[in-house]
Structures are given as structure tokens and as C-alpha cells.
Structure 1
Amino acid sequence: MSLQVFRLPDLGEGLTEADLVRWLVAVGDTVAVDEPIAEVETAKSIVEVPSPFEGVVVGLHGSEGETLTVGEPFLSVDLPSSEGPAAVGEAAEATAESTGSGNVLIGYGTTDTGARGRTRRRRGSPVGTPTGSRVEHARVAEAPGRDALVGDALFGEASVSEITVDEVSVSESANVSAPRVSSPLVRQLAREHGVTLGAITGTGDGGTIMRRDVEQAIASVAQSHGSDRAENQQHGAPQHGISQHGTPQHGSVQPETDPRSGLVISSRTMPSMFRRTVAAALAKSRTEIPEATVWVDVDATALVDLRRQFNADAGRTPGVLALVSRFVVAGLERYPALNGRIDPDSGEQLQFDGVNLGFAAQTDRGLVVPAIRAAHTLNVRELDAEIVRLSELARSGKATPADLGGGTFTINNYGVFGVDGSAAIINYPEVAILGLGRIIERPWVVDGQIVPRQLTQLSIVFDHRVCDGGEAAGLLRFVADAVENPLALYADL
């Protein structure tokens, strides 16, 4: 057996850190090439890290919730190799290149293209390992289109990146016997409930640990904990370090008090890398962009009626966001200054031939902005399909930097939260964002008569460096007129 220390791979240009969300394997598990070993959260998304090796897991370098740096030890694996030490580097390279599935983590992955890499060796002494160990650099072909930047995902040419692995020879007596598990779901169930697989006797063929075995172990642990609590209560044992009179027990941890307010601090939470990145981008937007806001109340009755008339038999009825998005794309063709950005180096104003339309999507991780590529080429149903697809990716944490970057204009449907208006923050480095409030029945004057109508509010926040209020108001009025009389615009689309 030979120990390989897999280091956290390159996350792409500008992405040098990641938060460890959770391990998908445990010490003693047997992993295969390309099997997901962990989920990490970058500044853009949550991604699965695939293993470049096949073997037995002997070490996990990092705790869930910890921030890891590219190049640090990530996973230690014992390779099932009976060959001499000199052959291990070639075996590692062959493992990483031969049967890969093409899984990629922004600049790292295995490939099935058959491309051969080159192997370099140098001396090294990893912490906790014998001296005289060797370091293998297995070069792995990177999939195209993964050259990512924080704040803007770029499509680059296919390139080659390196994975650094530390190789240490170990004796036969150090071999770890991994428990046989029927499926990854069983491993996950055990991890979630803190059950050690090595302590379970499997009832499956050949001692394989089945789901029923883990569930029985979970039940046994719960029953044991319940008995302990009952015994403590029977003997009057105080709970949580607090006496029966409500005063802290001797030796218990004193609560932390905020010196400013005098209140007890109930928790301290370090924001995730994603939240820190979002906060930095919002602060940069407010600091650098001289923004202004205009808004208008709109009668959306005709748009609501038109949506009801869509033929749902051909598939899902497009949502209001898709309908308004089509108006926005058409409006940006007339007011192109709002579909661009300011070059931070030269100060030049850039405008684009086409629209990548971003839309704000609320997820458990926070607000993200997926971008519909080439939105100007899509009809309403196609826009709606992309909104649904990208929303599902964002909520599951599987959206890639390419999905979340590259937008040129953003629409924010804050009406889904039941509010009428908002002065949104521009999605840096864009120069404008359009907001859509809730559609609600209200009294409205039509032909001199007060009648109930479906009203909404539209707003646009724009960078005053790229245009004055007239152009921003022109785009806003164009979209508002389209909402009030959608058939007139659709006839030209």
C-alpha cells in the first residue's frame, strides 16, 4: 500500500479559498476514481470535489465549516498497489487519466480524452509522514470553459492544470480494513447521525453493512441517550450547567455579554465564503457607483389577462418574470447604454452586442444572480425555461460560475416577497437593475372612472456615469408601456 495526500485543487483564477461544507466519505471508506469525496463552497457555488485516486481513505484534512486554502492537504488515500515505490507515481497518473468521467472542479478534474500528461518528481517531507517521501505532480487535462473569475465567469481555452499529491510508502501492517457498505446513501445516513461504520456488524452478504444495520445503530444510540437523560432527571441532576435556582453551576461556562447593549450574545457565526463575497460585491457597488433611481406605477391588467390566455397544453405557462424579461431585452436594444459596464482600468464605457440577462434568485445560501446567456435570441417560453432551470440549479447549490457570472443587466422580481417597491443595489460591475413589485388589485382611474385594476410598480436603479435620467426613464417607460399593452409589442417580436 502507498499513501497519497491529495491537496485541494486549483479553484480557478481569483478563487483561492473554499469553505468545506461536508465530507461525503469517512476514514476507512473505499473510494473510486471520480467518486465525490466532499462538497466545498466557493465564492460562486457549492461544488463536489471528485477523487483522482482509488483506494482507502486514511485521513480527512479539514473540518466541516472550515475555510481551506488551495494547495493544502485535503484527503489521504492508501492506494491498492503492490508495485514498488518507483511505480506509484505512474500508477497515480494512470488512475487520474485513464478512466475519468470528466468531472471538473473549476480548473481540476479527470478526463476520458486519453490525453497523456507528464510526471515530475521532487523530494518532500509532508507533516506526519516519514522523511524521504516523494511528491508526484500528475498533470490532468482541464475541461474547456472553466477559466473563472470572482464576479465574472469567462470562457477560456482548454488548458492543463496540476494536482499535487504527496506519496509516502507505508508498511503492510498499516493497511486499513474498510467496512463494506451497500451504498453511498448508507454512508451518508451514518455520517448524519454520528454512527461509526467500523463499529457495526453488517448483516448483508459477506458482512456488508446495510441500511437496516445503520438504522438499528441509530435507534440504539437514541435509546441510550434517552436512558441517560431519564437517570439524570431522576437524581435531580441540573441541565446545561444551570442549577435548579437558575444560577450558573460551579465550573460552568459563563455566557458572553455584549459590552455595548449589555445583552447576552446567543451565538457567533462566521459568514460563509459566499456571504462574504456577496457582501464585498454589494459594498463595492455602493462605494464606486453613483446611482440614481426612478420608478413608475403600472397597470398590469392586460399582462395578467394575456398570461391566462396562454395555451398551457404546450407546456408550462410562462411566468410573469419571463414576460417582463422579454420586454426588458427589447428595451435594451433601444437604450444600449444601460446594457454595459465601465472598464475599471481605462474608465471607458463598454456596450455589448447582445444581452446576458441576470435575475435575482433567493436561495438558502443567500441571493444569487444567474444569467441567461444570449437572452436576446430567446422567445418568452425559452426565457421561462431558462429561468426555471437556473433557479433550480441555484437553489440546489449546483450552479457553476458560468451560470452565475457574465450578466450584462439584471432584473429583480422583489414582488415575490409581497412588497411593492425597492431601491435595489446594482449588481456590480453592471450599470443598471430593473425591479418588479408585486401585482395587486387596486383602484385606478380609467376613462374618468375609478375601477379595480391589477397594479404593479417598476423601478430602475442606474449608474449616472453611463447616462442621465432621460435614458433610464426611457427604458423604464418602454417596459411599462409593454406591460400595459403587451400585444402591441409582441406583434413586433
Structure 2
Amino acid sequence: MTSELQVFMLPDLGEGLTEAELVNWLVSVGDEIRVDQPIAEVETAKSMVEVPSPYAGTVTVLHGEPGQTLDVGKPLISVLPVGAEVSTGSTNDTPVVVSTGSTNESPVVEPVETQESGSGNVLIGYGTPGGSGTARRTRAPRTAVEPDAQKAADDLLLLRTRVPGKLGAVISPLVRRMAREHGVDLGNVHGSGDSGLIMRRDVEAVIHPGSRQARSPEVSTGSTTERPESRQARSPEVSTGSTDSRTGLGISSRTPVKGVRKAVAATMSRSRSEIPEATVWVGVDATALVELRAGLKKSDPHTTPGLLAFIARFVTAGLKRFPDLNTRIETADNGAQEIVGFAGINLGFAAQTDRGLMVPSIRNADKLSARELDAEIRRLTAVVREGKATPEQLGSGTFTLNNYGVFGVDGSAAIINHPEVAILGVGRIIDKPWVVDGELAVRKVTELTLTFDHRVCDGGTAAGFLRFVADAIENPGSVLADI
């Protein structure tokens, strides 16, 4: 039986995304995997997800390295089916085990009918094959020189010397060839590269024990190695070409704009270029709300909502009264525009994470009490900080609430989270002198800032909504009757 490599293409992980960053491999070359086993963690512009394999068998190729951006529809992993053998033929149609980095040409991938079937499980917009699924047969390009059958068999043997589940992996064909020629068992080699990647220096250390310390340490550059002094000579940070031509300052770092940061940049730029925004703000005496929560916490310390949940409850009540701020503008191909209203409120809230600012949304927030809103805020905050939020959780909001007071600031003219039409910011609550009944007193004061799309409403509507929320904070009893 010939080896029909099954090549799994990176699927569309949701909402038509065209690329994803490979964060981490969960399997290694030579591992035996099962259907639906997670094989990689990838980060899209929306979230970080685990990608399951639709195939079972032996991993032969990992098409990419951690940190690399992969295009949707391009190979992610190649799997040799259980029980398959390497073909002994030598024609152009002979399937071979292909490794990334072996040539400058991409492998040719052709569909081939197979009896292998997947589970049919779905991951955000794609399913593993069903009973009549299609696998992939991978062969070398017709213009390339075919490797002989013995070399393919040797390569596969080396792959299978790996201990399943071990982090170490071999990607470079030069490293595998060196190991084969010197009889090195790669399954016993500890890789010094990222995620346990076995480098050339690791194999050389086995071939020539003790020589590793005698030589200057080497630095991996992919398929070859070099000494640090030669790398330093070319490093842009230390060379004469590292000076910025405009400022005359040295360039200390370059950080690619990708993943979540790339998505945020695109959304903010689009918001600024498309939305004629305006901002209104007001100072609010939050003493009554703070005292109300303190009293509730004394009687029920475990289920008392946080202040943000109370304000979220005021916001949903305000949006019911001023629904223009809970809309979206859609533009048709002919340029005609419509203001789209919604039968419900999906309240987004800004949450700071290690991956940047994320805005998950609470579905049907207008139907929830303050306690229920508090539970959802806590749950979704944990989800986004773990990098497990789905595109639906991050992209379905109709209005955003931003508590920038946690950063110790009073106000901010926020950028609207496109395609929404408004965002409400809440500053820190601090003691300030405040006039109450004609007398000066120390009160708990915060500032509310509303940025809105002037195309959907005028200043009167925006001010009416902002005043409603402010009044609710100052006199919370009536709005919170359902908590």
C-alpha cells in the first residue's frame, strides 16, 4: 500500500479571517495522533483557539514555526495514515514524505479519494471530513528531482524514532540527513531550539561529545548555524544602518503589527476615518451608589455585584430609552445608507489582557439583572484573559462600556468600536469637594464620557442618554429594583 499523505489545510477559523499566527505546536513530528486531537494553538485577529486534526496517523510535517503567520487554505500539518507504508516506486506520482525547508518550491497537493473519515465535529466554521471525506496526496513538484525510495523510507524511519508526545522535533532535512549518516537516534536527542526543536548543533554534540564546550556557542538561523560574533556584525541594532534617518536616534526594536494588535489597529483606523464622532461628558456624584453597594455587601458579601455591573444595568436601561445609540450604519453597494436597529442589546465591555485590550460582549444584556450582569462580566473576563474567547464573543456587541477608571484616570475621549455607534467611558471614583444642598461636602465623584456617531443622532439624544445614566448613578434605587 502506498503512503497517501493527508495534508490538513489551515481552516477559516471564523468570520472570513484570512490568516492566523501559529502560537504553539501541541504535537511533534513522529507523534501518533487521533481524530480531533488538538494539534496547534493559533491566534487570529479575534481570539486564540486550538485546532483539532481531522485525521489519525503519524505526523510527518509541521508546516510552520511558532510565531509565523499562516494563510488560511495553506498546509498546516501532514499526516501519514495508520498502517500506510512508503511507496517503493520512482515515478512522478509516487507520494513522498515532504519536509518544510527542503526546497524553495511548495509541495504539490492533489485531492485523492480515501476511506478515512473524520468525526464531523465543527470548529468555528469548518468541520472535519465525514464518511465521504477527502484526504490529500502530497508529492514533490514535477520539476524537482525525485528522492529515491530508500531515502524516503529512511526519513520516515527517523521520524518514527521520536517518542510520541516528546517536545523535541526535527524540521531541517540537513539535520535528519546528518543523523542518518552518523547513526544518531533522534528519539534520544534533547533539542535546544524553541519548543525542543532539534538543531544541527544538537546532533553534532552527539557525534562529537565534548566538542560543544570547546567551540564558541552557535546561534540557530533556521537551516544553518553561525557564531554569535558573525551574527552581531550583521545585527541591525549594532550596525551603522540601525540609526533612524528622520530622528537620528538608534532603533532599539521592531515589533510586527499582527494578530489582535493588527485587528485593533484596523478597527480603530476605520472608526476614525468613517465615523464623524462627537464627545460629551459630565461629572457624577456616585456616593449613593457606593453606599448602596457597601450596604448590600455587608448582608450578602458573596453575590453583591461590582460597581461596573450596576453601571452596566443603568446603561441597558438608558439604551432602551435612547435606542438610537444601539444601532449600526450599513452602506449598500450603491452608496445608500441605512441605520439598523436591534431588538436587544449586546453590551460590550473593555477588558485588559496580556494580549491587549479585548472587548467581549454580554448577549441580551438588557434582559439581565445587575447580579446576572456581574456574573457574565466575571466569566467573560476570565475567558478573554485565558485567550479562549470566540469570534462571536468578541465581535457581536452593539454598544461598549469602557471602565478606564481602573487605570487611575478621570476621563478619555474614546474611539468608537466600529461598527457600533457609541461608547461610554467611566473614570475613577475618588473623593472630591462637591456642593450638596448649598453646602460644600466631600463626595465620591466620577466622570462619564460618551463618544457617539453624529450621523445617527444629535447632541440632544446623546446628552439625554448620558444624563439618564448619571441620574441613575446618583439615585440608583429606582433602576435597580430588580436586583
- Scaled by the length of structure 2, the TM-score of the pair is 0.75
Find the residue that maps to 2:477 and give its secondary structure: helix
Check if 1:281 corresponds to 2:267: yes
Contact residue 190 and residue 197 of structure 1 kept, 8 A:
no
Q: How is 1:10-89 mapped onto 2 (pairs within 5 angstroms)?
A: 10-82=12-84, 89=113
Give the corresponding residue for 1:443.
Answer: 433
Residues 58-457 of structure 1 aligned to structure 2 (within 5 Å): 58-82=60-84, 89-92=113-116, 94=117, 96-97=118-119, 102=121, 104-110=122-128, 116-119=130-133, 125=139, 127=141, 174-175=156-157, 176-180=159-163, 187=167, 198-200=186-188, 241=229, 254=239, 256-311=242-297, 313=300, 315-345=302-332, 346-457=336-447
Matched position secondary structure for 2:357: strand
DSSP 3-state at the match of 1:343: strand
CA distance in 2, matches of 1:426, 1:332: 16
Q: In 2, distance between residues paired with 1:189 and 1:296?
A: 59
Gaps of 5+ in 1: 133-169, 203-216, 233-238, 243-247
For residue 489 of structure 1, give the secondary structure of its aligned residue in structure 2: coil
Read off the aligned partner of 2:264 and give its amino acid letter: V
Cα distance in 1 for partners of 2:35, 2:330 equals: 43
Q: Give unmatched runs, 5+ long, in structure 2.
A: 88-94, 96-111, 147-151, 172-183, 191-201, 219-226
Q: Report how far residue 313 of structure 1 moved.
A: 4.2
**Contact 1:295–1:460 (Cα < 8 Å) also in 2:** yes
Q: Tell me, in whole angstroms, the C-alpha distance in 1 between the residues paired with 2:378 and 2:170.
A: 34
Q: Measure the CA separation in 1 of the matches of 2:40 and 2:167.
A: 13
Pick which of 360-369 and 333-342 moved more.
360-369
Shift of 1:118: 2.9
Q: Give how far 1:190 is off.
A: 13
Give the RMSD, CA atoms, in angstroms: 3.9
What does 1:477-492 align with in structure 2 at a 5 Å threshold?
A: 477-491=467-481
**Alpha-carbon distance between aligned partners in 2 of 1:452 and 1:189, rounded to the nearest angstrom:** 65
Measured at CA, do residues 384 and 228 of structure 1 come closer, stay the same or move farther in structure 2, by a change above 3 Å?
farther
Give 1:79's aligned amino acid.
P
Specify the SS of the correspondent of 1:310: helix
CA–CA separation in structure 2 for the residues paired with 1:4 and 1:230:
42
CA distance in 1, matches of 2:412, 2:437: 30
Query: Is the Cα–Cα contact under 8 Å of residues 44 and 401 in structure 1 kept in the other structure?
Result: yes
Cα 1:436/1:450, change in 2 over 3 Å? same
Contact 1:341-1:350 within 8 A present in 2 as well: yes
Cα separation, 2, equivalents of 1:488 and 1:122: 64
Per-residue CA deviation, residues 36-76 of structure 1 (Å, 9 max, x unaligned), is 11111111111111111222222111122221111211112
* 2:313/2:370 contact within 8 Å kept: yes
- Displaced runs of 4 or more, over 4 A: 82-86, 119-132, 170-173, 188-191, 224-232, 239-242, 248-253, 311-314
Q: CA offset at residue 273 of structure 1?
A: 2.5
For residues 353 and 448 of structure 2, what CA distance do their matches in structure 1 show?
23
1:305–1:124: structure 2 CA closer, same or farther, 3 Å change rule?
A: same
Deviations 1:348-379 (A, max 9, x none): 11211111101111112211210100001111
CA contact (8 A) 1:48 1:105 kept: no
| Pairwise CA distance, 1:328 | 0.3
Distance in 1, Cα, partners of 2:376 & 2:189: 48
Query: Aligned partner of 2:302: which letter?
Result: G
Q: CA deviation at 1:396?
A: 1.3
One-letter identity of the residue aligned with 2:246: R
1:62-108 per-position Cα deviation (integer Å, ceiling 9, x unaligned): 1222211112111122222258999x94342x2x13xx6x3x43222
How many residue pairs get aligned? The number is 410
Q: Is the 8 A contact 1:124 1:131 kept in 2?
A: no
Question: Which letter maps to 2:331?
Answer: P
Question: What is the aligned partner in structure 1 of residue 104 from structure 2?
Answer: none
Asked whether the 8 Å contact 2:400–2:417 carries over to 1, the reply is yes
Cα separation, 2, equivalents of 1:466 and 1:405: 21
Stretch moving more, 39-48 or 3-12: 3-12
Using a 3 Å threshold, how does the CA distance of structure 1 residues 261 and 225 change in structure 2: closer, same or farther? farther
Report the more deviating stretch, 26-35 or 354-363: 26-35
| Cα distance in 1 for residues equivalent to 2:433 and 2:260 | 43
Amino acid at match of 1:118: S
Q: Distance in 2 between matches of 1:12 and 1:81?
A: 34
Task: Determine the structure 2 residue equivalent to 1:159.
Answer: none
Q: What residue in structure 2 maps to residue 466 of structure 1?
A: 456
Cα pair distance change 1:354/1:225, threshold 3 Å: farther
Partner amino acid, structure 1, of 2:82? P
Q: Is the 8 A contact 1:56 1:178 kept in 2?
A: no
Kept after mapping to 1: 8 A contact 2:287/2:445? yes
Q: Percent identity?
A: 55
Say whether the 8 Å CA contact 1:29–1:178 is kept in structure 2.
Answer: no
**How far did 1:449 drift?**
2.1
1:2–1:80 CA contact under 8 A, matched in 2: no
Residue type matched to 2:470 in 1?
Answer: A
Give, as a single letter, the amino acid of the residue that structure 2 aligns with 1:105.
L
Contact 2:28 2:169 in 1 (8 A): no
